[in-house]
Amino acid sequence: MNTTMFLPKEIKVGFQKRSGTYNGKLAYVIYIDEKGKIRKEKSFESWRSHDIPTEQFENEPTSGFVLNKKAGGYSTGWNHRQTYVRIYDPRGFEFEISIENLLYILDNTSSIIGKGLEGEFVYAWSGSDLVLVPVNAPEYEELKKLNDLRHKKDFVKAKDLKVGATYLTKNNDEMVFLGKFDEYEYGWRNFEVNKKAKKQFYFAESGSDGTFHYRTFQAVTRFLIDVIDENPHPELHAMFEHLEFEKRYSPIDHSKSLRVAMTLEDFIEYFSNFGWGSVVGANGREYDINTNRYSDNKVSFNGEYKEEEYNRWGRMEIHKLKVKNMYDGVEYEVNTLEDVFNILKPVETHYYQENGNFYIKQSDAWNE
């Protein structure tokens, strides 16, 4: 079960008249969040029959739920209806849950003919999906504890944050506060550096693979719900060491970039693996290289043009044509990747961060 699900204090129920239900009505259940806002209200109002009054209930553990029947599970052209199961709530309405939700319920309790589902249940939401949760499920206590903190509204304030302390977010994530620092962004095609206007709150999470994952926020209002440990995290020093290699923290410094000749081994390995790509020649021009795997691995490159005159309805026009295997105006015979390497003498760019750390090497002109 997703232990980040939201457990509201109150639910709101709207109705449609529907045959095949216990009382002739099918319910749409939504909830009121910790801010007092009614969630999914727009779809709720468009779905329900307005001649049937809505009802509100406390979302307390309740017993007496009963399985009714399957609904949906058909497809007519574009109109697909997912399979659901209808459940009767003892407060007098019937609603639908997913098959996955039903299987989870049956993993944790029993359905007795004539008596319904054993035990008590509460309503929860995983994103926009309603989930009926048995309170005897092993994850329920953790889920309840998290949501009690959410509803408590005693959020950790930014001014009280301590570097190295561990905090719990309302999404049930544990994060270590690192401080407020500048954050840098980059264009989608290049390493053009843009600094965000305001310093950001930096946090670190320990990954299951032993790595650290960093998250930044412009504000932490109503986000941190508990202090797990005020003492400096035992891996705090390592978290800062790894942070130095994040380009959003220490930006790429183009004044440190170096053009370095590619090795033949790197060149052949790259194009043997991918079959195509781009490199920058010793003349600074970008060339596309292709090893045609569907034609006896024939190798070619292009990146230069020559002009040809063309008679278009009695008027001479000049067209630029891309020429295969031309370098600095000379056409070459090419048979192997080694031939291409010796002609182009390709170079790659080594990029470094402001703090001097090596960031990446690239063989094409993508970030030029």
pLDDT tens, position by position, 227-279: 999 999 999 999 999 999 999 999 999 999 999 999 999 999 888 877 888 99
Would residue 213 count as lying in a domain?
yes
Show which of 147, 165, 184 is a domain's final residue.
Answer: 147
The total number of structural domains that make up the chain: 3
Task: Specify the higher pLDDT residue, 126 or 320.
Answer: 126
Tokens of 279: 């490199």
E-state strands within 162-297: 166-169, 174-181, 184-186, 193-195, 200-206, 212-217, 224-229, 258-261, 276-280, 286-292
Residues 273 and 235 in one domain: no
Would residue 342 count as lying in a domain?
yes
Residues 237 and 316 in one domain: no
d(CA 256, CA 93): 68
d(CA 65, CA 67): 7
Collapsed DSSP state (helix, strand, coil) of residue 44 = helix
For the cut 90, the answer to whether the pLDDT of residue 8 exceeds it is: yes
Would residue 39 count as lying in a domain?
yes
Would residue 300 count as lying in a domain?
yes
∠ CA 144-154-170, nearest 5°, is 50
Residues 246 and 265 in one domain: no
Would residue 4 count as lying in a domain?
no
Cα separation of the two ends of the chain: 47
Of 63-72, 77-86, 125-134, which gets the smallest average pLDDT? 77-86
Residues 285 and 187 in one domain: no
For the cut 50, the answer to whether the pLDDT of residue 74 exceeds it is: no
**Half-sphere exposure of residue 320, counting CA atoms within 13 Å on the CB side?**
4
At residue 309, what is the residue type?
Answer: E
d(CA 362, CA 347): 9
Residues 137 and 219 in one domain: no
Residue bearing tokens 């295997």: 325
Supply the pLDDT for residue 125: 97
Instruction: State mean pLDDT over 168-195.
Output: 91
Show which of 251, 270, 292 is a domain's final residue.
Answer: 251
Tokens of 311: 């008679």
Residues 183 and 264 in one domain: no
Of 9-23, 86-100, 297-311, which gets the smallest average pLDDT? 297-311
At 107, phi and psi to the nearest 5?
A: -70, -20
Residues 272 and 230 in one domain: no
Supply the pLDDT for residue 76: 45
Collapsed DSSP state (helix, strand, coil) of residue 134 = strand
Above pLDDT 90, what percent of the chain? 70
d(CA 95, CA 243): 49
Residues 271 and 335 in one domain: yes
DSSP character at residue 55: E
Show which of 226, 251, 276 is a domain's final residue.
Answer: 251
Residues 89 and 73 in one domain: yes
For the cut 90, the answer to whether the pLDDT of residue 191 exceeds it is: no
Give the pLDDT band (50/70/90) at residue 23.
Answer: confident
Residues 302 and 340 in one domain: yes
Task: Specify the higher pLDDT residue, 112 or 159.
Answer: 159
Contact 332, 339 (CB under 8 A): yes
For the cut 90, the answer to whether the pLDDT of residue 298 exceeds it is: no
Above pLDDT 70, what percent of the chain? 93
Of 30-44, 183-197, 284-298, which gets the smallest average pLDDT? 284-298
d(CA 101, CA 228): 31
Cα–Cα distance list, 64 to 117, 136, 138, 306 (Å)? 7, 15, 20, 82
Give the pLDDT band (50/70/90) at residue 295.
Answer: low
Domain of 186 in residue numbering reads as: 154-251
Using alpha carbons, select from 363, 344, 340 the residue that is nearest to residue 290. 340
Instruction: State mean pLDDT over 146-165.
Output: 93
Give the pLDDT band (50/70/90) at residue 367.
Answer: low
Supply the pLDDT for residue 80: 44
Residues 21 and 129 in one domain: yes
d(CA 105, CA 121): 9
Contact 177, 167 (CB under 8 A): yes
Q: Which of 213-222, 261-270, 298-307: highest mean pLDDT? A: 213-222
- Where do runs of H (alpha helix) occur along 35-97? 41-47
Give the pLDDT band (50/70/90) at residue 82.
Answer: low
